[in-house]
Amino acid sequence: MNWRVDAAVQTPAHSALGDVLSYSSTRPLVPGTLVRVPLGRREVLGVAWSVHPADPAYEDAAGPMALKPVAGALDALTPLGEPWRDLVAFAARYYQRSLGEIALAALPPPLRELSAEQLARRLRRQAPAGAAVQEAPRPGPPPSAEQAQALARFEAEPGPFLLFGSTGSGKTEVYLQAVATLLEREPGAQALVMVPEINLTPQLEARFKDRFGAAAVVSLHSGMTNPQRLASWLAAHGGAARIVLGTRMAVFASLPSLRLIVVDEEHDPSYKQQEGARYSARDLAVWRGRREGAKVILGSATPSLESWHRSRPAEGEDAGGRYRRLEMPTRIGTAALPAVRLVDMGRQPPRTVLSAPLLEAIGQRVARGEQSMIFLNRRGYAPVLACSDCGWKSECPHCSAYRVFHKIDRTLRCHHCGFTERVPRACPACGNPDIAPVGRGTERLEEHLGELFAGVQRSDGSAVRIARIDADSTRRQGALQSQLAAVHAGDVDVLVGTQMIAKGHDFRRITLVAAANADGALFSSDFRAPERLFSLLMQSAGRAGRDAAYLSAQGSTAEMWIQTHHPQHPLFDALRRHDYPAFAQRELQERAAAGMPPFAFQALLRADARTQEAAQAFLNAASAAAEGLAGAGLVTRYPAVPHAIQRVANVERAQLLLESSSRAALQRLLAALQPILHGLRRAPEGKGVIRWLVDVDPQSI
């Protein structure tokens, strides 16, 4: 008897081939089995999604009606479980992508190339390591009163939980103790711990391995080599790894005994994938926890407004949110949150980069042997190079953006398409040799600090040591780890950097943090910009004064300095008081009045084309065709507009916003739009269109 195997494979984008392709098999495969199947002229990896007895009408069919046989099954690997397949199916359905695209992207790349025999040998080699005896967890420090209360509620209530704890309140210790309690109660259980950035994984991995032993912990993130990712994935899938630490991709890890999910810094935009399938790992973690009966903790000092709203307590006729809010407002020990000082830059001399009071405060820290951190979320030497005679600027010829001046290698580099050229000796337009940088990036700020502190000496008579950490200074393998180690060792007096240094790091000797230019997002057209700015500034402030004993020994206090032209802005008032609830209340009131998330649901339909006219015409045609579709009456469709950065790599980009107070209505419309979009792509309206995509719950508009 033959069987029909419906397999999820990674079909070409916008191929409209459907979620699964059918193949024939001489034996009944278990759903979830990895299979190698023919696709065109290639043989590709797929996942057997469902298996049925073959239809007699097709068994003797020939030509195009005949089902191609499965080339082979990777039987040595335990089939992917039904909960994992449900997660993939939900993500594909909700984020409007194909089943195979999500499923295959969730698997480690080496699996796509291994034959059944090669995989079997790989599993035999890994078996001894997987059989290693798990160490008993080492005891942690006794929890504080707030930590003990949060852990007690976590054990007693179903969740999901929002752990709202100030920076330095010991949220990581809560995660560690929650995992330890789980493994003590259920030795075979597994926990998934997610972080937003790759550079935060090593320090968290060190803490978990120190507590639980190296054999119990594996990491999963895109910074690993393919063999490392495969080994970690196999350890998790086989149950040998009890704890998986990873970035957003880890939400799709195969964990057959998953009982706990932690999403640290849950507010971070990095949890939203920005290429391909644009899923939110945080939201999928909550869905996965509910599907698999695993408890979920979302942790942050500055929660996303969506999570804050969903964790609101019941009040009057409002039944409250479905999350449980756990609060830890104070820092561990006697450490206090840093005092926030605002510098009105309108009262400073023109072209002031760092105000005199701030420089004096940094100098005092240097004299006492303490560390300072200056945050500027713009890398490079200057955002643009310009000619004062003719007005020429260093525009990218391929993008609607300027190329950034990098002085270290004397290049103009586009941070969108990567186009790089040497800095011209004179203005390309008029020949003026006096072209100058405009604005400042971290590279120029580092140089400026070096000039300002050139004559200053440390207490031991040596020169002030200034370091920079950003995407440019950490390109080489291991560069970030060595730079962070130098900061932790006290070999740096003033640290300059982008948001890479603003969150998650436990710097014990930093007592002053400064934001050099905090006004950029105050008046942005993106309604989420104030939320991101408040979070970034509060997280930056959290790097200062984390060690109460060190502060006491130094006779010092922790400070956060913010340079702004708008010191009276309500955002800064809430920040001075470290009052996230007040900020959140004000923002939520404004969003409720405007009908914006979390009180509405959004999706962006995006199109890339050879011309802006073609991109917008395609989107507007899709909007017109949506009239009368299921859910259309409850969804507002706005006209197509150019993307914020209209052109990237000579491709014009446009977007169309869809918004509704009903998530179900928006999803129905998006699903009904899919065949229309495929049809338009092949119609005259699609001429010149390179690709289109749907971005559900977008993080920026």
* pLDDT tens-digit map of 218-275: 999 988 999 999 999 999 999 999 999 999 999 999 999 999 999 999 999 999 999 8
Residue span(s) of the chain under CATH 3.40.1440.60 come to 3-106
390 is in an annotated binding site: yes
For residues 619 and 666, give the distance between their C-alpha atoms in angstroms, rounded to a whole number: 17
Banded pLDDT at 631 (limits 50, 70, 90)? confident
CATH fourth-level superfamily of 339-379+441-593: P-loop containing nucleotide triphosphate hydrolases (3.40.50.300)
Q: Is 569 helix (H, G, I), strand (E, B) or coil?
A: coil
Q: Tokens 């995407």 sit at which residue? A: 471
Q: For residue 440, what is the DSSP state?
A: -
Q: What pLDDT, on a 0 to 100 scale, did the predictor assign at position 113?
A: 87
Task: For 149-189, list the strands marked E by DSSP.
Answer: 161-165
586 is in an annotated binding site: no
Q: Of the ranges 6-15, 340-349, 384-393, 671-680, which one carries the lowest mean pLDDT score?
A: 6-15
Per the CB < 8 A criterion, the answer to whether 173 and 204 are in contact is no
430 is in an annotated binding site: yes
Q: What pLDDT, on a 0 to 100 scale, did the predictor assign at position 134?
A: 65
424 pLDDT more than 80: yes
Residue 322 structure tokens: 């479905």
Strands 435-438 and 384-387: antiparallel
421 pLDDT more than 50: yes
Residue 42 CB contacts under 8 Å (≥ 6 apart), including other chains? none
Q: What pLDDT, on a 0 to 100 scale, did the predictor assign at position 135?
A: 73
Q: Is 25 helix (H, G, I), strand (E, B) or coil?
A: strand
Q: State what percent of residues in the chain have pLDDT above 70.
A: 97
Banded pLDDT at 16 (limits 50, 70, 90)? low
Q: What pLDDT, on a 0 to 100 scale, did the predictor assign at position 60?
A: 56
Q: Per residue in 662-688, pLDDT tens?
A: 999 999 999 999 999 999 988 888 888
Q: Could you tell me which CATH class the domain 3-106 is placed in?
A: alpha beta
453 pLDDT more than 90: yes
Nearest CA-CA partner of 133 in 212, 37, 250: 212
Q: Of the ranges 69-78, 136-145, 416-425, 501-510, which one carries the lowest mean pLDDT score?
A: 501-510
131 pLDDT more than 70: no
Between helix 663-682 and helix 612-625 the angle, nearest 10°, is 120
Mean pLDDT of 14-18: 66
Mean pLDDT of 48-56: 88
65 pLDDT more than 90: no
Nearest CA-CA partner of 261 in 138, 147, 159, 184: 159
Residue 14 CB contacts under 8 Å (≥ 6 apart), including other chains? 678, 681, 691, 692
Tell me what the pLDDT averaged over the chain comes to.
91
Per the CB < 8 A criterion, the answer to whether 299 and 263 are in contact is yes
Q: Of the ranges 76-85, 419-428, 685-694, which one carries the lowest mean pLDDT score?
A: 685-694
Mean pLDDT of 428-435: 93
396 is in an annotated binding site: yes
The amino acid that residue 234 corresponds to is: L
Residue span(s) of the chain under CATH 3.40.50.300 come to 145-328, 339-379+441-593
Q: What pLDDT, on a 0 to 100 scale, did the predictor assign at position 474?
A: 86
Q: Is 552 helix (H, G, I), strand (E, B) or coil?
A: helix
Per the CB < 8 A criterion, the answer to whether 255 and 181 are in contact is no
Q: Count Cα atoms within 13 angstroms, Cβ side, for 2.
A: 19
Residue 649 structure tokens: 């790599």
Q: What pLDDT, on a 0 to 100 scale, did the predictor assign at position 129?
A: 47
Q: What pLDDT, on a 0 to 100 scale, did the predictor assign at position 676?
A: 92
Bond before 303 cis per omega within 30 degrees: no
Strands 258-264 and 295-300: parallel
What Rg do the C-alpha atoms of the chain give, in angstroms? 27
Q: What pLDDT, on a 0 to 100 scale, did the predictor assign at position 568?
A: 93
Residue 378 CB contacts under 8 Å (≥ 6 apart), including other chains? 439, 440, 441, 442, 498, 517
Q: Per residue in 159-191, pLDDT tens?
A: 899 999 998 899 999 999 999 999 999 999 999
Mean pLDDT of 548-559: 90
For residues 399 and 650, give the distance between their C-alpha atoms in angstroms, rounded to a whole number: 6
Per the CB < 8 A criterion, the answer to whether 515 and 542 are in contact is no
Q: What pLDDT, on a 0 to 100 scale, did the predictor assign at position 55?
A: 77
529 pLDDT more than 50: yes
Write the CATH number of the domain with boundaries 601-696. Answer: 3.30.70.100
387 is in an annotated binding site: yes
Residue span(s) of the chain under CATH 3.30.70.100 come to 601-696
**For the chain, percent helix, then strand, then coil, each to nearest 5?**
35, 25, 40
Q: What pLDDT, on a 0 to 100 scale, did the predictor assign at position 130?
A: 45
Q: Of the ranges 74-78, 329-333, 563-567, 632-636, which one carries the lowest mean pLDDT score?
A: 329-333
Write the CATH number of the domain with boundaries 145-328. Answer: 3.40.50.300
Residue 355 CB contacts under 8 Å (≥ 6 apart), including other chains? 343, 345, 348, 563
493 is in an annotated binding site: no
Helix ranges restricted to H, 577-694: 580-594, 612-625, 663-682
Between helix 145-156 and helix 171-185 the angle, nearest 10°, is 40
Residue 351 structure tokens: 């072209």
429 is in an annotated binding site: no
The amino acid that residue 157 corresponds to is: E
Residue 221 CB contacts under 8 Å (≥ 6 apart), including other chains? 198, 201, 246, 247, 249, 250
Residue 383 structure tokens: 């955002």
